[in-house]
Structure 1
Amino acid sequence: MHAPPTPFAALIALALLVGPASALASDASVKARLDARGIKHTVDDDGDYKVTYSYEKEGRTQLVFVSGGTETVGGFSIREVFSPAARLEKDGVNGAKALELLAESRTNKLGSWETDGDVLLFVIKLPDSASAAELESAMDIAAQTADDMELELSGARDDL
């Protein structure tokens, strides 16, 4: 005869059932917001929403991603918008340049510079409750900021 599950075990089982469903709901909310603004996108291998900005006048493009998942901090559900600007080694991002980027991050009103492996990213962390218009605005800011830095660091090269 099996003993009935403890309240703790029941909570764990419920969390396992509800967790994936709420993650999917968050993903669907990003898709809905992008679709509402008419933003064409794909989903990459790790579930992030990928958008290619086209700056036709300059003959350039810029990648922007909206994270497919959220993280919770202090009761906030946070979603990241990020755009790659450089390859650290290839584009000569050294200690002096890193200090300049830290100083620039201090003056940015929304977003900051981060690294992920060998990639320099401009990252904006938003409450997941951001509206479709606010999400689009954050994407615009990330794309423009990252592309400007890519131009500064790599010249005319348009790799990202």
Structure 2
Amino acid sequence: MLAKDAPAAAAASASEHAPDPRVKRLLDKLKYKYEVDEDGDYKLVFDLDDDDEDEKKGRSQLVYVRSPVFDYGSHEVREVWAPAYKAKSDEFPAKVANRLLEASQESKLGGWAKQGQYAVFVIKVATNASAEQLDDAINAAIQSADQMEAELTPGKDEF
């Protein structure tokens, strides 16, 4: 009986990790370079070098456009993630947690979430978002995460 159910389980698992072709079309339209990770999410790394801003020299930012789709009532969304901080344990220091809460309140688009040891800036976008809307979400994630990383870990650029 287990052997009979195994292919169905494997197929379900494979489809859970399949990259969403709608994201691929949008990223290709935006001419972004990306790779697909083992979870089927789109991984992008942005070089933040800007001659006008010395503090950004040599910085980069990691961003994920996730393939899974979530729904709530008539809303159907996907997430754009950008990590900015890694704690030494599964608990964030109180000062860091409070700063992330404050930054979430200040944010116009998205907010901070805890993923294990990581603080991740998360923006939920409609699955039928245009390339321009996805680009706005990606840029907001880049700016928010890189600024927070620079604030919380001065002189470091892990993400």
Task: Output the TM-score relative to the length of structure 1.
Answer: 0.80
Q: Deviations over 1:104-155 (max 9, x none)?
A: 2112111000110101100001111110111011001101110111111111
Q: Distance in 2 between matches of 1:107 and 1:61?
A: 23
Partner residue of 2:146? Answer: 147
The 2-side partners of 1:55 and 1:97 are apart by 24
Does structure 1 retain, via aligned residues, the 8 Å contact 2:110–2:121? yes
The two structures, once aligned, show a CA RMSD in angstroms of 2.3
**Once the 2 structures are TM-superposed, how far is the Cα of residue 36 of structure 1 from its aligned partner?**
0.5
Aligned partners of 2:96 and 2:152 also within 8 Å: no
Please list, as runs of the form range in 1=range in 2, the aligned pairs for 1:26-65 lying within 5 A after superposition. Answer: 27-57=20-50, 58-65=57-64
**8 Å contact from structure 2 (residues 113, 121) kept in 1:** yes
Q: Identify unmatched segments of 5+ residues in structure 1.
A: 1-15
* TM-superposed deviation, 1:95: 1.4
C-alpha deviations, 1:21-67, integer Å up to 9, x for none?
A: xx96x810000000001011100111110010101231111100000
2:94 corresponds to: 95
Aligned residues: 140
SS at match of 2:20: helix
Mapped partners of 1:159, 1:86: distance in 2? 8
Aligned to 2:156: 157
* Matched AA of 1:116: Q
Structure 1 residue 103: Cα displacement: 2.1
2:81 matched residue in structure 1: 82
Distance in 1 between residues matched to 2:60 and 2:87, nearest whole Å: 19
Q: Offset of 1:158 from its aligned partner?
A: 1.1
What letter corresponds to residue 73 of structure 2 in structure 1?
G
Q: Quick one: distance in 2 between partners of 1:144 and 1:98?
A: 19
- What corresponds to 1:132 in structure 2? 131
**Greater Rg, structure 1 or structure 2?**
1
Aligned AA for 1:147? D
Structure 2: which amino acid aligns with 1:158?
A: D
Secondary structure of 1:81's counterpart equals strand
Provide the TM-score with structure 2 as the length reference: 0.80
Displacement of 1:93 in angstroms is 4.2
Q: Does 1:71 align with 2:70?
A: yes
